[in-house]
């Protein structure tokens, strides 16, 4: 029992740290490279978890990431409703539990089911990022919480985000999730002693797809309506936010 508890603590710390990486990948920190790694601990943990336990790990990840990314929102809610910090924090916790923790939990449980079926590598590389994208659509379009989507982390990479002209931010999220899944598959292949060839196979097609989209997007941006990148100053003000 002690060993299980110790293992659970290590996994919980890994999930919380990864959630911190998610927050750091978003503005105002903008460590965008972390977005390509932030899902790794969760993806590796749910491979050996039941769907119910995977849901719990995903919920922990989502709840922690939400608080770390929008820690300032509690103060804004308290001011807007003329309430104390504690009621505002409780209200935000409930909102995060419904809109973020639950949807991240659904993703993790779905990923665990996909892995448990022992399908092909190509199926996992398509299905798991698609699951991530689906829960983002659910969170943003159905639950009305479009903040801090994974694709937003890449806002400074002009070439990559050109795909959003067709897919919206969800296409960018899919590509970033795909990168995470590919790295996770490569690490599992190496850990299980299946050799560098299988690890390379897990990385090759996703890297080619992401790199190709990035290059095409960069070329299109460079050849824009004025023959190059066009800069336009934009200001956005959201009231009630400290």
pLDDT digits (tens, 9 = 90+) for 136-162: 999 999 999 898 999 999 999 999 999
Judge whether 176 lies within some domain: yes
- Let me know: does 188 contact 44? Beta carbons within 8 Å: yes
Judge whether 238 lies within some domain: no
Judge whether 241 lies within some domain: no
Residue 225 pLDDT more than 90? no
Domain range enclosing 15: 2-222
- Looking at mean pLDDT, say which of 71-80, 179-188, 222-231 comes out highest: 179-188
Judge whether 202 lies within some domain: yes
Judge whether 31 lies within some domain: yes
Number of domains present in the structure of the chain: 1
Banded model confidence at residue 226, pLDDT cuts 50, 70, 90: low
Judge whether 240 lies within some domain: no
Judge whether 235 lies within some domain: no
Judge whether 123 lies within some domain: yes
């Amino acid at each position: 029992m002690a060993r299980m508890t110790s293992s659970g603590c290590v996994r919980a710390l890994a999930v919380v740290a990864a959630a911190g990486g998610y927050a750091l990948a978003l503005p105002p920190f903008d460590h965008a490279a972390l977005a390509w790694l932030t899902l790794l601990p969760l993806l590796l943990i749910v491979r050996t978890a039941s769907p119910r336990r995977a849901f719990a790990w995903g919920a922990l990840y989502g709840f922690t990431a939400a608080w770390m990314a929008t820690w300032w929102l509690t103060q804004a809610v308290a001011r807007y409703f003329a309430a104390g910090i504690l009621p505002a924090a409780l209200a935000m916790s409930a909102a995060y539990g419904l809109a973020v923790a639950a949807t991240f939990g659904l993703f993790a449980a779905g990923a665990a089911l996909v892995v448990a079926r022992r399908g092909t590598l190509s199926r996992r590389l398509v299905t798991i990022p698609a699951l991530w994208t689906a829960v983002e659509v659910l969170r943003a379009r159905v639950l009305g919480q479009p903040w801090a989507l994974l694709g937003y982390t890449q806002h400074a990479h002009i070439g990559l985000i050109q795909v959003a002209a067709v897919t919206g931010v969800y296409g960018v999220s899919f590509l970033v999730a795909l990168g995470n899944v590919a790295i996770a598959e490569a690490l599992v292949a190496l850990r299980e002693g299946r050799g560098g060839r299988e690890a390379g196979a897990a990385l090759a097609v996703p890297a080619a797809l992401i790199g190709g989209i990035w290059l095409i997007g960069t070329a299109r941006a460079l050849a824009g309506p004025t023959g190059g990148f066009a800069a336009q100053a934009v200001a956005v003000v959201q009231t009630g936010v400290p």
